[in-house]
Amino acid sequence: MLKGFGTFLLKELKELVRDPKILLPMIVIPLVMFPVLGAVMGYAVQTAQEQAIKAKLIVVNNDGGGWSNSFVSFLKRLNVTIYVVNNTKLDDKKVLELLSQHNATQILEIPKGFSENVTAHFSNPAVKASLRFYSVLAGTSIFEGTGSSVIDVLINQFNRAVAPDVVYSEKAAVIKGEIKYGVDPAVVSGLLMSQSIALPLTVLILLSYAPQIAAASMAIEKEEKTLETLLTLPMDRLAILWGKLSSSIIVAAVGAVAYMAGYSYMFSSIMAGAPASLNLDLASLGLVPSAWGYLLLGLSLFVAMISALALAVILSAFAEDVRSAQSLVSNIYPLVFVPSIALIYLDINTLPFALKLVLFAIPFSHPVIASKAVVMGDYWTAGLGIVYVSAFTLVVMYVASKLFATEKILTAKLKIKGLKTRRSEKPAEEI
């Protein structure tokens, strides 16, 4: 045993555990943040399941034979909410009309010859009966393909009762009012999520890197005793604030580009080994942002970044050194992490109202919301988000500029006693 190790270790542990700056971000925040995230996700899963069960399915029966009627009865027995339409020729226009007329998101067409094919299957197993399933892809939630998966389960159960593999479904996705045949919404949804994860991740990285850099650069001025001199120079004090914010954005952006380059290399390596069926082209489905969408996304990220940085600078103004500043800033992480991670999997439009409201209120949710909204062509959500975050940023910048314009930038301190905070304006140095 190393001489003195035990004594030293005990002292270290005492210091670390008793330091609220470490206790809060390292222990308390994760203990709160992840259960909150779990609760959000759990609630969303439950809601999605309930919605999937309640979802109305329009069954267009163009066959009218015995097996098609049996299939419809089978669906009814399983308590699937269905609305049956008989003998209606389905073209793209009619599909959209039916969906809108019945406020539904799914249509199952039993084509003519269905019963004939099921009967033929018993003498020739190579003959199979097809169904066509249309499903609207409205968002980018992980649950977007649930309807498609539910149909597969129902068909499997029917097949189990009748004959293995006798019925199969041909999928079509309704994306932005256009019908894409041969596209399974479940596959698109999965692909969309795995490929569009890059945007929320970039947001996550930028919003966690940049405030740390801004907070550290402000705290260094205090720690290295350069701030006092700076504040007496014939310069605009807001130039200090903007200088800190701008340099933090540049450094964080370079960091994010490096991170994303590494991430996309890793992702392309994984995709190279994936089956060809997964290589759907999202661009041809219209599921990549337009130039206008990218502009909105960039703006959304920019204003959120400015608000996070200004908040970080304000918080770091209350710290005496870099460590304290970074600890203070890490307190805003739950506001960055919870929405970013939750919105990678969930579509905000499908969430319950209260949860939606909470996520909309957090300014750092908006770049992630925008990243998904612009993919679906929903520019209003992205635009209104920018307006809201800009207003929030203006308030934060106003507070930051007030702080820089007065002596508080030099004298304000946050004293943490236990978990209580109070502000002191007594300077640290000699009176």
Partner 1 sequence: MSLAVEASNVVKVFGNVRALDGLSFAVRPGETYGLIGPNGAGKTTALRIVSTLLLPTAGTVKVFGLDVVKEAGEVRKVISYLPEEAGAYRYLSGWEYLEFMAKFNAKSKDEVRAMVMEAAEICGLGERLKDKTKTYSKGMKRRLLVARALMTKPKLAILDEPTSGLDVVHAYHVREIIKRYVETHGVTVLLSSHNMLEVEHLCDRVALINKGRIVAEGAPQELKEKFGCKNLEEVFARVVKIA
Positions in the binding site for partner 1 (CB under 8 A): 224-226, 228-229, 231-235, 406-407, 410-411, 424-427, 429-431
Please report how close the Cβ of residue 228 comes to partner 1 at its closest, in angstroms. 4
Please report how close the Cβ of residue 206 comes to partner 1 at its closest, in angstroms. 24
Q: In the beta sheet, which residues pair with residue 84?
A: 59
**81 or 424: whose CB is closer to partner 1?**
424
342-394-323 Cα angle (round to 5)? 65
Sign of CA dihedral 198, 203, 208, 213: positive
Please report how close the Cβ of residue 238 comes to partner 1 at its closest, in angstroms. 12
Please report how close the Cβ of residue 227 comes to partner 1 at its closest, in angstroms. 9
**39 or 405: whose CB is closer to partner 1?**
405
Cα 335 from chain centre:
13
**163 or 220: whose CB is closer to partner 1?**
220
Please report how close the Cβ of residue 218 comes to partner 1 at its closest, in angstroms. 14
Cβ atoms of 206 and 301 closer than 8 Å: yes
Please report how close the Cβ of residue 315 comes to partner 1 at its closest, in angstroms. 21
List, in order, residues 6 or more apart from 8 with CB less than 8 Å away: none
**226 or 290: whose CB is closer to partner 1?**
226
List, in order, residues 6 or more apart from 116 with CB less than 8 Å away: 65
**What DSSP string runs through 134-158?**
EEEE-S--TTTTHHHHHHHHHHHHH
Angle at which helices 198-223 and 322-329 cross, to 10°: 150
- Residue 325 DSSP symbol: H
**165 or 224: whose CB is closer to partner 1?**
224
* Residue 116 to residue 294: CA distance in whole angstroms: 51
Cβ atoms of 52 and 147 closer than 8 Å: yes
SS3 65: coil
Cβ atoms of 382 and 300 closer than 8 Å: yes
Pair type for strands 106-110 and 129-137: antiparallel
Sign of CA dihedral 348, 351, 357, 359: negative
Please report how close the Cβ of residue 241 comes to partner 1 at its closest, in angstroms. 16
Please report how close the Cβ of residue 311 comes to partner 1 at its closest, in angstroms. 24
Please report how close the Cβ of residue 211 comes to partner 1 at its closest, in angstroms. 21
**12 or 425: whose CB is closer to partner 1?**
425
**232 or 277: whose CB is closer to partner 1?**
232
**226 or 421: whose CB is closer to partner 1?**
226
**171 or 413: whose CB is closer to partner 1?**
413
Please report how close the Cβ of residue 235 comes to partner 1 at its closest, in angstroms. 5
- Residue 62 DSSP symbol: S
231-234-239 Cα angle (round to 5)? 65
**What DSSP string runs through 219-283?**
HHHHHTT-HHHHHTSSS-HHHHHHHHHHHHHHHHHHHHHHHHHHHHHHHHHHHHTS-GGG---TT
**233 or 250: whose CB is closer to partner 1?**
233
